[in-house]
Amino acid sequence: MKYEEMKTEGNTSTVTEFVLQGFSDLPNLKKLLFGLFVIIYMIVLFGNGLIIIITKFDPALQKPMYFFLGNFSSLEICYVTVTLPRMLKDLWTKDRSISRVECAMQMYFFITLGSTECWLLAVMSYDRYVAICNPLHYPLVMNHKVCVLLAVGSWTGVIPLQIWQTCQMFSLHFCKSKEIKHYFCDLLPVLKLGCGNTSIQEVTLYIAALVFVVIPFMLILVSYSKIIGTILRLPTATGRAKAFSTCSSHLMVVLLFFGSATITYLQPKSMQSPGTDKLLSLFYTTVTPMFNPLIYSLRNKEVIAALRKLFLKK
């Protein structure tokens, strides 16, 4: 396969086209993987699409909790669409090349949507904190205007730093190799291809990880420590079970997403390997979005009732 190259100063060359390794090391499993990922993509679209529909149109779900859940499901569809269709195309065809511009665009949307997810999960935990710890003030604190502002802030507040991070990453000369050892243009695999001094990009990466992963996760921990403390002080077992059921599904999603993402981006360099990174990335880019609608529907009686109502109408 031919790769486009561009001459630069000092008789070096920088890559203007990459190749995604994807699952080329598993040639005998390509058809199986293609079928599996098509099914996963359909489940993500269908499951999260249903959540969006019922949270938008069911009168019983016109509450802040479900407003954020609808936003979260919309985000999951966008998040998976950034990587999965491209991966399916690479599995179906033999051409795994991707231009520098396409790679930069994929990276930007992936890290922006991933950062939005972190902050939206933090906002959802704050919503549960107010609902359980300050129930009398909940309608006042979490009014429609505040909910909209929190959602818009989660979607747009991450954009400036992620534009800067993407520009920093692609200001590098990529002359070490042309093959990205991943199935999409993720930060760490692309950074490994850079030649010269990459310290600025590494510092930017850790700043972004702090702002978009560590801080939201710490806010979630604070919220849930207060929520658990309040639940344990409730006088009846029935009250404790009901209170915990309203936030247990969100807590499961938080642990699944942040657990795999934290291991991927914050593990020491000595422990990083392309195979492990791909496996962990698959978990938080495809598996978690697939299971999220199931987690929220199975553990929420109002969502189950809304789904039952929707299908009975059909």
pLDDT at 10: 42
How many angstroms separate the CA atoms of 314 and 310, rounded? Answer: 6
Mind listing the pLDDT tens digit for each residue in 155-204? 999 999 999 999 989 888 877 678 888 889 988 888 888 887 888 888 88
Averaged pLDDT score across all residues of the chain: 83
What the block records as the tokens of 139 is 């309608």
Provide the CB-side half-sphere exposure for 174 (13 A, CA).
Answer: 25
* Mean per-residue pLDDT, 58-75: 91
| Listed residue (115, 124, 184) closest to 150, CA to CA | 124
Residue 265: count of CB within 10 angstroms of its CB = 20
What pLDDT shows up at residue 6?
A: 42
Q: Is the pTM of this model over 0.85?
A: yes
Lowest mean pLDDT among 30-44, 69-83, 257-271, 277-291: 257-271
Read off the pLDDT of residues 202-255 as tens digits, 9 standing for 90 and up.
888 888 888 888 899 999 999 988 988 888 887 777 767 766 776 777 777 888
| Phi-psi group of 22: left, alpha or beta (phi > 0 → left; psi -120 to 50 → alpha; rest → beta) | left
DSSP summary character for residue 282: H
Query: Domains in the chain, please, with CATH?
Result: 17-313 (1.20.1070.10)
Are 310 and 50 within 8 A, CB to CB? yes
Task: Give the pLDDT score at 145.
Answer: 95
